[in-house]
Structure 1
């Protein structure tokens, strides 16, 4: 009963704006059907070889880095409302143009432009979360948004599979419709809304006069986030290859495991975040979340039976819940009044860089040294990263001002 009460209370106190930002994210991500099927589209429909398809996909990662950087920078100059609106509405024609390009160079160029525009949305959205959340609810507001992302990515690929069976063009047009609906919903609700937290939070460290590019403590924190993301986002590539080649799972069972992970996050995130906020300090939460992710990957070196894989993905999901939203919280606390966008953009770049590196690095290690070495190495690296978070966070934030 106590856990049920905590679970219910975790949703209380969230502002109407936080719920609407999550709804916009859900609409936008539910339309995200292109990325999961882009590789299949290139190899099956356009007859690209795997190497060329991989090169085009890398331009999506490069565009994500550029979008996070530019989006964060211009958010501080023109405001998060304009950046989010422009990103959503400009994404509409970009998605519609993609089917017109059928060469490697042309498709790489349009994918780079599209991902740069769409990823500019993320730092602006993060700034909006900090400004519209009720005091003391920033982490839960970030968690609500992540739940929307997870739910949207569960819906989008499922719909995308149906549409791709009819025509690949429908994937791009449906993505455009999703971006348009998200943009209209956002503009209609937020065009006249006033911020709940227009100024810097009282418990944050005032570094508003310092450029985040000179804030070496924050940059070291971002390096730790980058190391985490390199390991964690194997979930999207090397882990599924391991499921297929080493665990000999069918595509149906692979889909079950990934879908199960999303369900665990959607059902447990708000509860576990509420527990962490109530009982843990930030340094303990990030340490524990990162360490659990390391245990999850290291377990794969021991056994690959189905029940063991379910336990592993469950631990990974719990670790994710206690790591990812709190990284955004630390960034919000570290930033000042007028540079939140740049701070969030740099954090976004740390994750976007991993989308470029992780697929190549993970598959390279697995091919040359085997999956056992890959998973043991991942576990060790995440353990070291967890220790890094434990010592970096108190160093970044003043203990007398922030619950660390």
Structure 2
């Protein structure tokens, strides 16, 4: 069960990280700019955010398994569309379809954890899942670079078709975690309106904002590093995969540390430490990106620290938000996810819009994201003091 849940959570990263090293080559083959290729990340995130908002209430009403199956079918169709696409705009369109499908597995695997566990135990389980799931982006860019060299960029999307079909066949082994008597009876329209009420909760906003701003920085990193490393600093595509993998190892390490410490220190305190570390690293990065101080390592070192903060920020912010609304786990998981990836659209979109051939737009966006994440935990601290 842990294996399938990790795989479902990993769909978000595998469908992007596998083709990252191929982005400059895809742009060249399709005769389009780096800014346009960076928008294939933003297009994916639009589908991913909107998809989550739909799947959350649907699963609270109809159970977790049927929506996951529908999502996997959409993921397979979208991946095949990307493989056959003849232009960058067609890829952006198919990436939206692929993302709506992938989002079902991600949002519902989190809701399944909340169905089965609560409190620090839920944060601990999410940390474990994220650690296992981190294997996908760890191997993704390295594997993507190899597939690109052996078979070209279209083969990357055909492999995603295969992954989607395999997961679909494995799905019947996953139990349904939401029994009929615990399902929501309210109509879908009213459930979607319920997002407004959730957004009025200050604690929920604090948790969602801390994770959301951080994701904005993470996706600025995902959209910006292929061009900052490969094009600006002339790093070979295969070596890019290794630089990216270093960050994932940092994420896995901090998630394992978080799973160990969360029961003792509580998720709120670890969340605050994580955002402080991320904000500090982001400011150093912005300085290095502006002045070219330290060249490649001036970027890679603070980026490693920023990305590693994931282990203290993501699981704790999601668990904190889910904790207050156990009866609406699907909807809360969807809302938090949509806000996180919605920030990702802004982060990756800004890097694409201000692309000037240097790492500065990426460094600037990540610095703003790190500060925003820290300010949200301060809002949360004030709300906790009033409780």
Q: So what's the TM-score if we normalise by structure 2?
A: 0.80
Whether the aligned pair in 1 keeps the contact of 2:120 and 2:267 (CA below 8 Å) is no
Distance 1:188 1:378, change over 3 A: closer
Paired position in structure 1 for 2:170: 185
1:355 Cα offset (Å) = 2.9
In the alignment, does 2:36 pair up with 1:47?
no
Q: 1:348 to 1:397 in 2, by over 3 A?
A: farther
**Superposition pairs of residues 251-266 of structure 1, within 5 angstroms:** 251=237, 254-266=240-252
Q: Please show how residues 223-242 of structure 1 align to structure 2 within 5 Å.
A: 223-242=209-228
CA distance change for structure 1 residues 309 and 277 in 2, over 3 Å: closer, same or farther? Answer: farther
Q: 2: distance between equivalents of 1:376 and 1:161?
A: 28
2:96 aligned with 1:123: no
Q: Which residue of 2 aligns with 1:392?
A: 380
8 Å contact kept, 1:231–1:358: yes
Shift of 1:135: 6.8
Q: Considering only aligned residues, what root-mean-square deviation do their CA atoms show, in Å?
A: 3.6
Which one of 197, 204, 224 corresponds to residue 214 of structure 1? 197
Give deviations 1:63-98, integer Å, cap 9, x for gaps: 112212112231222122112222123322332233
Aligned to 1:349: 338
Partner Cα separation in structure 2 for residue 230 and residue 237 of structure 1? 11
Which of 321, 329, 335 aligns to 1:340? It is: 329
Change (3 A) 1:378 1:126: same
Q: Which residue among 321, 329, 348 is the counterpart of 1:331?
A: 321
More helix by share: 2
CA 1:316–1:54 in structure 2 vs 1: closer, same or farther (change >3 Å)? closer
1:139-288 alignment to 2 at 5 Å?
139-164=123-148, 165-190=150-175, 211-215=194-198, 216=200, 217=202, 218-219=204-205, 221-243=207-229, 251=237, 254-279=240-265, 281-288=266-273
- Describe the shift of the 1:85–1:328 C-alpha distance in structure 2 as closer, same or farther (beyond 3 A): same
Contact 2:216 2:366 (C-alpha < 8 Å) held by counterparts: no
Relative to structure 1, the CA distance from residue 306 to residue 35 in structure 2 (aligned partners, 3 Å threshold; closer, same or farther) is closer
Q: Conserved in 2, the CA contact under 8 Å of 1:92 and 1:176? A: yes
Alpha-carbon distance between aligned partners in 1 of 2:317 and 2:310, rounded to the nearest angstrom: 11
Tell me what 2:188 maps to.
Answer: none
Match of 2:311 in 1: 321
1:192-245: per-residue Cα shift (whole Å, max 9, x none)? Answer: x677xx799xxxxxxx9x933223122454344332222233321334544457
Mark the CA change 1:81 to 1:274 in structure 2 (over 3 Å): closer, same or farther.
Answer: same
1:71-82 aligned within 5 A: 71-82=55-66
Q: Which runs of 5+ in 1 are unaligned?
A: 1-16, 201-207, 400-404
Indicate if the aligned counterparts of 2:216 and 2:345 stay in contact, CA closer than 8 A.
no
Does the CA-based 8 Å contact 2:68-2:105 persist in structure 1? yes
> Which range moves more in the overlay, 236-245 or 177-186?
236-245
1:110 maps to 94
Q: How has the CA–CA distance of structure 1 residues 253 and 304 changed in structure 2, closer, same or farther, with 3 Å as cutoff? A: farther
User: Residues 88 and 382 of structure 1: is their aligned pair in 2 closer, same or farther, counting only changes over 3 Å?
Assistant: same
Q: Which has the larger radius of gyration?
A: 1
Change (3 A) 1:73 1:276: same
Aligned residue in 2 for 1:3: none
DSSP 3-state at the match of 2:166: helix
In structure 2, the CA distance between the partners of 1:108 and 1:137, relative to structure 1 (3 Å rule), is same
- Secondary structure of the structure 1 residue equivalent to 2:86: coil
Counterpart residue number, 1:93: 77
Please, which of 30, 42, 49 is the counterpart of residue 65 of structure 1? Answer: 49
Mean Cα deviation higher: 384-393 or 348-357 = 384-393
TM-aligned CA deviation for residue 393 of structure 1: 5.4
**Hey, what does 1:402 align to over in structure 2?**
none
Identify unmatched segments of 5+ residues in structure 2.
Answer: 185-190
Q: How many residues align?
A: 369
**1:287 to partner: Cα distance:** 1.5
8 Å contact kept, 1:233–1:358: yes
